[in-house]
Amino acid sequence: MGAPVFTQLPIPLSERVEFLSDAYLDTIATFVEEQKGSWPDFSVSRRCANPPAHISQEPRGYTLSFSDSQVSLTRFPSNDASVSQDLDYNAALWLGSIVRAENEASAHRRDREYRHLFGVKPRASDIPVPVQRTLDALGDHMARRTVDNPDIAHKIDSFGLQQCIEDFEDTGFTVFRNAFTDEFAEAMREEAALNHAGRPEGSSFRATMLLKRGSLWEEALVHPWILTAAEYLVGRGCLLYQTDTIVKSPGQETHPGLHSDYAASRITEPFPEFCVLTVAVWAIDDFLSEHGPTVIKPGSFRERHQVPPGTTQEGTIRIEMPQGSIAMWNGATWHGSTPRTAPGKRTSLHNTYCRNYIRPLEQYQDIDASILARNPPMLSSLCGLDDAFGKSGYEGADFERMGYAARSGFAQSGPLPHWSS
């Protein structure tokens, strides 16, 4: 009685671990000890360079050895393994976040996109079938339990995002180039067309609540670069504020003039000096001058107030970018739209993230449990299921979630919290 209604996590918070931590290796050890079967003599070694300092000062990894009816774990990489995988720590973390069971199409897309981002070759294909089957089961087991690297500065360096971060501080916006493949753009374009089908030509309709419209949009929400930038701007444990697609036709202008994205949340003026909301706009099609790109006023986030009525687009610049790019800005930055003058349509995806104490426009605490089960913990955090807000009942607050949020450094983007060791 009096219990709040929200989706239960498929994996308890207490079972979550940080990639290649001692707790992570303990979890692997427990899993392989419980496996029953028969395997050929084979070994797989993983070595990860550049781990965050709180995990290790040296390359970190492990080796799994298969022999007859046993699988064993060695807590360091081996040079003599049948197959060796040498990856950057953060690349390996994200490739290891893919849940494959009953999720084949999505897993294939994620694998392709992450390898595109990190320049990693396809998985080894010469692994014996019984070994690969066990590795896949272990991979799913760990993907559902492994949290993201909490060291934001480490991720920025690892992903090469330093210039983008400098852009945020200088102008209030940046553009991530070559952030997704043409194949992913085509899939999103087709899916957006289905969501917009039946709407009047040239209407300003937005297809929203995308997280409940298919796995494709889940994949876009947990883009490694964008999540890292979102954490930098609005803190760890940030929430999904809104997600929508826009299909722009000739002459259509969705936001003439200028505005800030703080308007819907009624952020009190003067705005905080820190960012509370950020938007990532995916160029599913080219954003060129004739396609009706976004215009933005560099540095306007420092005004710390809403755009005065009657303000024109004078002093703005156009965000022109090719398909496969993602523009992202501090939500306090003044921006607007321009009409499309070229024939055809332009499709874009808009994912908005906010600090975890801001009330989102879209509510996902009742998200279907199957969606959480096919995703890493990063998604449940975005849905607001990992913090204590809205979880109190007649017996008090959810102290487990309060402790988890504190240990994880939710709402912070600076010093590293103590997570695990």
**Residues 6+ away with beta carbon under 8 Å from 198:** none
Q: What are the residues facing 85 on neighbouring strands?
A: 46
Q: For residue range 302-341, what is the model confidence (pLDDT) as tens digits?
A: 999 999 998 999 999 999 999 999 999 999 999 999 888 8
pLDDT value at residue 3: 66
In terms of Cβ atoms closer than 10 Å to its own Cβ (0-12, 13-18, 19+), residue 394 is: exposed
DSSP label at 250? B
Omega within 30 of 0 (cis) for the link into 298:
no
Q: For residue range 166-218, what is the model confidence (pLDDT) as tens digits?
A: 999 999 999 999 999 999 999 999 999 999 887 776 665 689 999 999 999 99
Starting at the edge strand found earlier in the chain, the sheet holding 346-354 runs: 173-176, 326-330, 277-283, 346-354, 239-248, 206-207
pLDDT value at residue 255: 66
Q: For residue range 214-234, what is the model confidence (pLDDT) as tens digits?
A: 999 999 999 999 999 999 999
Domains for the chain: give ranges and CATH numbers.
17-144 (3.30.1050), 152-384 (2.60.120.620)
Per-chain mean pLDDT for the chain: 93
| Rg of the chain (C-alpha set) | 22
pLDDT value at residue 421: 39
Q: Considering the chain, what percentage of its residues have pLDDT values greater than 90?
A: 83
pLDDT band at 253 (very low <50, low <70, confident <90, very high): low
Q: Tokens 């710390």 map to which residue?
A: 304
Q: For residue range 364-404, what is the model confidence (pLDDT) as tens digits?
A: 999 999 999 999 999 999 999 999 999 998 889 999 999 99
Q: Indicate the SS3 state at residue 116.
A: helix
